[in-house]
Structure 1
């Protein structure tokens, strides 16, 4: 299983009145992690969008464990939890500088044609990307 890691410095604008990261910002960080994973594997969301293909979120789950605060550095770990050639589910873990888990989650996506929102078969349209996902995804025993 390939795990991508991305550091994020918590900015003041990302915190709420309690001084902790506002919950919706974790969704943005998950996207940053997902984009980093795709880049690590040698591909690009932007290139896919140029082809008229988009990848909307169809489900997302987030569990908040420990607050992150302004000035801390968070590390986002992202991996392919499940992949079946049509649907991709990414796993996320966000930790603080001490390695304590702040957030866990996953998001599911389907690639669709931008003009019709009809799903595509990833293997047919992007065979190299499909192969990379098959090789990088989490295995049953991991």
Structure 2
């Protein structure tokens, strides 16, 4: 299975009054991890958006395990859990500097036409992207 790692330094603005990372920031980190995963496959969300296609989140699950603090470096691991040509579910582990799991998560996305919000076939509109995802699935 292809797993992409991205290091993120925790900024002060990402913490709450308890000195730990505010829970919503994990969602931003997941986006950073997902974007890095796609980039390492040779693609960019911006190219998809230029074609009038966007990829909204349709489901999100996250479980918090250990806190992260200002000044620490989080590691976001990202992979594809599921892909069927229309829907993609990404899996995530966010690790502490000691390699312990701070959070686990999944986010499901569907590609839609920006103007109508109708789902599209990634295979039809972005065949190279589809083939790369199929190859990643075979590695699982």
Alignment of 1:110-129 (within 5 A): 110-129=110-129
- Secondary structure of 1:47 counterpart: helix
Match of 2:74 in 1: 74
Match of 1:4 in 2: 4
Alignment of 1:19-30 (within 5 A): 19-30=19-30
What are the Cα deviations for residues 41-85 of structure 1, in whole angstroms up to 9, with x where unaligned?
000000000000000000000000000000100000000000000
Match of 2:86 in 1: 86
5+ residue gaps, structure 1, are: none
- Secondary structure of 1:59 counterpart: strand
Aligned-CA RMSD value: 1.0
What are the Cα deviations for residues 76-127 of structure 1, in whole angstroms up to 9, with x where unaligned?
0000000000000000000011100000000000000000000001101111
The runs of at least 4 aligned residues of structure 1 exceeding 6 Å deviation read none
5+ residue gaps, structure 2, are: none
User: Does the 8 Å contact 1:81/1:138 carry over to 2?
Assistant: no
- Secondary structure of 1:21 counterpart: coil
Match of 1:57 in 2: 57
Q: TM-score, normalised by structure 2?
A: 0.98
Q: TM-score, normalised by structure 1?
A: 0.96
Match of 2:41 in 1: 41
Cα distance in 2, alignment partners of residues 87 and 138 from structure 1: 17
User: Does the 8 Å contact 1:80/1:138 carry over to 2?
Assistant: no
Cα distance in 1, alignment partners of residues 116 and 138 from structure 2: 31
